[in-house]
Amino acid sequence: MSDPATPVRPTAAGMYDFYLGGTAHSEADRRAGEAITKILPEAVDAAWANRGFLQRAVKRMAAEWGVRQFLDIGAGLPTQHNTHDVVAEVTPDGRVVYVDHDPVVVTRAQELLVGLDRAVAIQGDLREPESILEHPETRRLLDFTRPIGLLMVAVLHFVPDDADPWGLVARYVDALPSGSYLALSHGTADYLSEQRRNLAMEIYRQTPNPPVDRTRTEVQRFFTGLELVVPYEGAKPELTFAAWWGAEDPVAADSEGARGFYAGVGRKP
């Protein structure tokens, strides 16, 4: 008989941790992750490209644009070089609120943050903006009269169309002051054949919240009303692939896996 405390279904967060070589995933996550990498060997590359986008975006916000506080929604399992670690490399007075809907994820994050007074982890559902924005810990740590970096990295593809993810993002952005930024990445199957996409989705349907892949146009809609920033030197302000955003050499950063996520950063006027 299986241990009731051991997850018998894979989770997207656990599979993502597996791709990144972490240790916070279950046996079910590992099996599902291995099945995915047989279909999509580039999945590991895509996960690292997305992780790199998060780190580069946070560092740019803190180092170049003076952002000192961050709301990281859908933060997932703690991995290498988390948001508060990146901020700390730039400034000692950065503040970070991590949010995830999974209590196991939140508990692990809280254990990681013991002894840190400028970073907290709370449980919250992205689909309930007010419960996150008005959470006592959010209000204690973040000053909503000063710019905030809103991070929605690899999370919105778990929100189906009927939950209106575009309207949800707008509600969060509306709560932020002028000069705030939204960093967002979203999984896509634009580069995949229909056969490989369908095989991968069969595996992800085993998880409690299967992802929805969206097109470039659909992801672009999340930045409505925001000013997209230049993703790398020589580019125009636009949405791009996660590996390209902030890259010193986008050509060298390109790969099939690098095209698994669209990414962008927008500034609230």
Distances (CA, A) of 237 to 229, 261, 264: 5, 17, 9
Helix axes 43-64, 12-19, angle to 10 degrees: 90
> Residue 6's pLDDT band (boundaries 50, 70, 90)?
low
Predicted confidence (pLDDT) per residue in 7-59, tens digit:
589 988 889 889 988 887 899 999 999 999 999 999 999 999 999 999 999 99
pLDDT score for 256: 76
Which residue from 166, 182, 154 is spatially nearest to 61, judged by alpha carbons?
182
Report the first-to-last Cα separation within the chain, whole angstroms: 57
Which has more confidence, 180 or 110? 180
One-letter amino acid for residue 9 of the chain? R
Domains in the chain, CATH or no CATH each: 12-267 (3.40.50.150)
Average pLDDT estimate for 186-205 = 93
pTM beyond 0.75, yes or no: yes
